[in-house]
């Protein structure tokens, strides 16, 4: 099964894609994670993306489309994948339809995670991630069971994203409302889209997504 999770910054796309990917044996494909890895590695793509990400704007459609197209060809995607943060514009959604057709793959579901802007700022400014395994945490909503130690891997180093400050979050929200929310219209008529209430706790959101997937 291949599906999309989309929603504003901090909605829980990464959290849910990670949990559902593990539960269902699907690969999580986060364009944000891929771009941050490219920035950290100092590749050409990373150099092109760095300033744009730090300002909270979207990188070019062509860049992310080619990253995703190459990634989907890798063998681990054969059993299915969850797109997290892609597509993010109608042009990306159109390109995705074309490339899935070329690769003889299907898009089985589109899940929209809805959350109000004010809660998103709180979610994002409190976020931190295990530097070793990538498990996501939150200062208030999702702390490790033992302070300073990752529940998943026992790692003791954590990182915070450079674009997780209030000013950049506002630009990311603006980009979402202007450029990404039109995806609701794009996918709304296809019969494959379901919206879930992302303001509930992590396990309730997971349950809603599973019910949505079962009903499609
Ligand atoms: P990206 O990395 O995709 O960032 P984003 O869309 O801004 O989303 P986030 O990763 O911030 O949030 P999330 O929804 O994954 O939330 P999370 O699960 O972490 O993109 C970054 C940048 O890369 C973009 O700004 C752009 O520049 C570029 N880019 C990426 N893709 C692109 C594309 N396709 N086209 C162009 N440019 C692109 O949760 C947030 C926090 O809340 C965590 O701490 C978590 O523990 C907590 N939390 C999660 N769910 C809940 C819950 N239900 N209750 C309480 N707390 C919760
Ligand atoms: Mg994310
Ligand atoms: Zn860890």
> pLDDT per residue over 88-141, tens digit each?
999 999 999 999 999 999 999 999 999 999 999 999 999 999 999 999 999 999
Q: How many angstroms separate the CA atoms of 42 and 10, rounded?
A: 26
Q: Please work out whether the CB of residue 9 comes within 6 Å of at least one atom of ligand 1.
A: yes
**pLDDT tens per residue across span 33-66:** 999 999 999 999 999 999 999 999 999 999 999 9
Residue of 18, 36, 123, 127 marked catalytic: 127
Alpha carbon distance 207, 103 (integer Å): 31
Q: How would residue 148 be classed by pLDDT, with cut points 50, 70 and 90?
A: very high
Assess whether the C-beta atom of 205 lies below 6 angstroms from ligand 1.
Answer: yes
pLDDT of residue 214: 95
Q: What is the pLDDT of residue 134?
A: 94
Nearest ligand to residue 18 Cα:
1
- Asked if 18 is an active-site residue, the reply is no
Cα 71 from Cα 133, distance rounded (Å): 20
pTM of the complete model beyond 0.85: yes
Q: Is the pLDDT of residue 19 over 90?
A: yes
Paired with 110 in beta bridges are 4, 193
Told to judge if 161 belongs to the known catalytic residues of this protein, a careful annotator would answer yes
Element (H, E) at 53: helix 44-55
Distance 76 CA to ligand 1 centre (A): 23
């Amino acid at each position: 099964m291949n599906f999309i999770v989309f929603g504003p910054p901090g909605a829980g796309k990464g959290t849910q894609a990670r949990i559902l990917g593990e539960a269902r044996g699907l690969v999580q494909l986060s364009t944000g994670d891929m771009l941050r890895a490219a920035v950290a590695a100092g590749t050409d793509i990373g150099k092109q993306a760095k300033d744009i990400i730090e300002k909270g704007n979207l990188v070019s459609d062509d860049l992310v489309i080619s990253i995703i197209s190459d990634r989907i060809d890798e063998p681990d995607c054969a059993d299915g994948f969850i797109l997290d943060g892609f597509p993010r514009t109608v042009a990306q959604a159109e390109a995705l339809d074309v490339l899935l057709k070329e690769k003889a793959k299907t898009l089985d579901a589109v899940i929209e995670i809805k959350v109000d802007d004010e809660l998103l700022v709180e979610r994002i400014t409190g976020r931190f991630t295990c530097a070793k395994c990538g498990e996501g945490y939150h200062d208030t909503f999702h702390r490790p069971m033992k302070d300073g130690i990752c529940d998943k891997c026992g790692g003791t180093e954590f990182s915070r994203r450079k674009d997780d400050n209030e000013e950049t979050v506002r630009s990311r929200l603006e980009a979402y409302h202007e450029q990404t929310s039109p995806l609701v219209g794009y996918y709304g008529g296809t019969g494959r889209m379901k919206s879930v209430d992302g303001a509930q706790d992590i396990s309730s959101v997971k349950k809603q997504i599973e019910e949505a997937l079962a009903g499609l």
